[in-house]
Structure 1
Amino acid sequence: MRITNKSLATVAVVGATALIAAGCSSTEDPGDEPTTGTTGGAEPTTESNGAAGGLPEELILGLVPSDEVDQLVTDGDVLAELLSAELGVSVKTFIPDSYSAVVVALQTDQADIGFLGPIAMVQAVDEAGAVPVLQSVRYGSSSYVTQYFTNDPDTFCLDEVTTEADDEGVNYSYCNGATGYDGPQGEDALALIDPSSQIAFVDESSASGYYYPATQLQAILGIDPLTDLPGAFFAGGHPQAVQAVYDGDAVVGTSFNDARSELAAELPDVGEKVVVFAYSTNIPNDGVVLSSDLSEEAQQLITDALVAIAGTEEGLAALDAVYNIEGLEPADVDALDEARQVAANFGEG
């Protein structure tokens, strides 16, 4: 059975286009302000016919919220300023509310750099001709998993719930072997999901928040997630999916591991009240894509600049603040091809 995602994809593209029309800055018209964001610190030092290395005089950096939007604006501006200083050109941030909006911005020459999840990276390559250049490293790995979590461990925990404290003393609860960073785990518990119950997915273009878990549920439950999960909804972000389960608006949610930490400062008991009970198969980490309208030399300069930033204490702090990134390494094309196969289940049909 092939998962059909035509209606959701149409909504995403229309919404993304509307966001751009509403105010995203075009690299061809640097006088317009982006939907959200500011100019990076360093002003261009070249004449209007272009910067050194074929760089445009202004670059647009697309970021998608995985935390509070206002905080991402602040953190994104710091990253933009560091990149601006490294390259010697102005860098502005564009922060819409979905991955699809960044893909459309890349497709319509209104973004130059995109920090995207793996499925959105594939979409940017296939639909916008973008070039994948880097992938994020966390916990020493360039891959991660979907975590399934619940406020009803009595139903979904097939063994004892265990609790571990992180370095800051915050407790996080798990069961069914869903600890560490390798999947799959707890697949027997996924068979206990009632298709009519409320399930909080993240975003229609999120790998860990939708594509991978929907594919997994399709195989385990023998359903089409779009038609056979009437209570499922998109929370809009990873912390929002956790919040939905914490608040009781959903009995099961999905996110990257461990998105609960994004809410720990505000909700100290979130790690115990929201219990992780299963993992998906491994997923390539999010990464960086560049517009193919940039020259090869410009692409290399931007790639080298981001790697250089990741090699400094200040740069790592900025990357960590934006997306909890601990390092950057060359994009894993083979892993992205696997993500493309998952995404193929969500085509028009």
Structure 2
Amino acid sequence: FGFVPSQEAGELQDEIDTFAAILSDALDIEVTGIVSTDYTALGVALGENQVQMGAFGPAGYVLASRNYDNLELLAQSVRFGDSTYHAQWYTNDPSICGADPVQGAFYYDADGNVVAVGPTATPALQVGWNADKTQDTAVSAGLACPEPVDLSVVVGKTIAFPGETSTSGYIFPTIQLINAGITDDQYESLFFGGSHDLAVTAVYNGDAQIGLSFDDARRSIREDFPDVGEKIIVFNISPRIANDVIAINADLPDDLKDAIFQAMADYIATDEGALVMEQLYSWTDLTRADATTEASLEPIGDAIDELGFG
């Protein structure tokens, strides 16, 4: 079972080993969890049958499926009841807001427009808040600008991107910049091998003024930096993105595919499984992949084609 780090690989491996052991017991088959360097490498490994399953960001899966015909969607992740997520734009410079930042977040109105909302009004759990909508007193509550800020504020600044094959960490945000008439010679780019927590840390430490990640990756560094919520301020978000997927070797027996999905779904429904999967990827549930899942990935393929690396 291959994974790609959304955080530091060493920390990810501990959670993967726990997850693999649970699957081994449930399936009565030895399951080994490995950390791949990026989604490109994981796609090759799955396509060449070096691994039989893989957890992919949506763009990583789309790219891999174009190169190999033995990949099959098994499941799609759910985060706090939502089968989509988005990129968040954030900064260490509160003046970008044009007014004092507030405890809050951004989401969508009925027409799909980005609007400011309260910190507990989004499906994704925001830093400094608990699942029961109480505030975590050990961690600063996440700040956001009072209103979405135009992306022109990134011109002349350094942007921390998690990685070039990350849907939320590069692909969708770059399309946003292109649509806003902003070209890559108008800002500097830093990349962090697919690690969202390292991108957040770079902005926290001042190595970049702007950063991208999934919502809300500030949570991934809150134990080391409990004031991250007030130091890193969200100022906009991307359009909706289909959630991560789990792909499997299509040649495996159907009954084994069913058993693998059920074992994962049963585990994530436990308290231990919920904690492990939240630490891995902020997943809170899984759904079996179907035609709707395939259709949800089409906008990602379109974005890849527009950027010219598909």
User: CA-to-partner distance for each residue in 1:286-345, whole Å, 9 max, x for gaps?
Assistant: 121112232333322322222222233333233223222111113322211122111222
Match among 85, 102, 113 for residue 162 of structure 1? 102
Q: Displacement of 1:193 after TM fit?
A: 1.6
Q: How does 1:121-270 map to 2 (within 5 A)?
A: 121-129=61-69, 130-154=71-95, 156-163=96-103, 165-166=128-129, 167-169=135-137, 170=139, 171-177=141-147, 186=148, 188-194=149-155, 196-223=156-183, 225=184, 228-229=185-186, 231-236=188-193, 237-270=195-228
Structure 2 residues without counterparts, runs of 5 or longer: 105-127, 130-134
User: For residue 205 of structure 2, what is the amino acid of its counterpart?
Assistant: D
The answer as to 2:295 corresponding to 1:345 is no
Q: Which residue of 2 aligns with 1:322?
A: 280
Structure 2 CA distance for partners of 1:273 and 1:235, relative to 1, 3 Å: same
Q: CA RMSD in A?
A: 1.8
Q: Which residue of 1 aligns with 2:23?
A: 83
Moved more, 207-216 or 295-304: 295-304
SS at match of 2:153: coil
SS at match of 2:304: helix
Q: Which residue of 1 aligns with 2:124?
A: none
Residues 80, 283 of structure 2: 8 Å contact kept: no
User: CA-to-partner distance for each residue in 1:47-67, whole Å, 9 max, x for gaps?
Assistant: xxxxxxxxxxxxxx1111112
Structure 2 CA distance for partners of 1:89 and 1:229, relative to 1, 3 Å: farther
SS at match of 1:333: helix
Moved more, 295-304 or 276-285: 295-304
CA distance in 2, matches of 1:341, 1:176: 32
Q: TM-score, normalised by structure 1?
A: 0.74
**Structure of larger gyration radius:** 1
Structure 1 residues without counterparts, runs of 5 or longer: 1-60, 178-185
SS at match of 1:91: coil
Q: Displacement of 1:174 after TM fit?
A: 0.3
Q: Displacement of 1:222 after TM fit?
A: 4.1
Residue correspondences, number? 275
SS at match of 1:92: coil
Q: Which residue of 1 aligns with 2:117?
A: none
CA distance in 2, matches of 1:347, 1:337: 15
Q: Displacement of 1:246 after TM fit?
A: 0.9
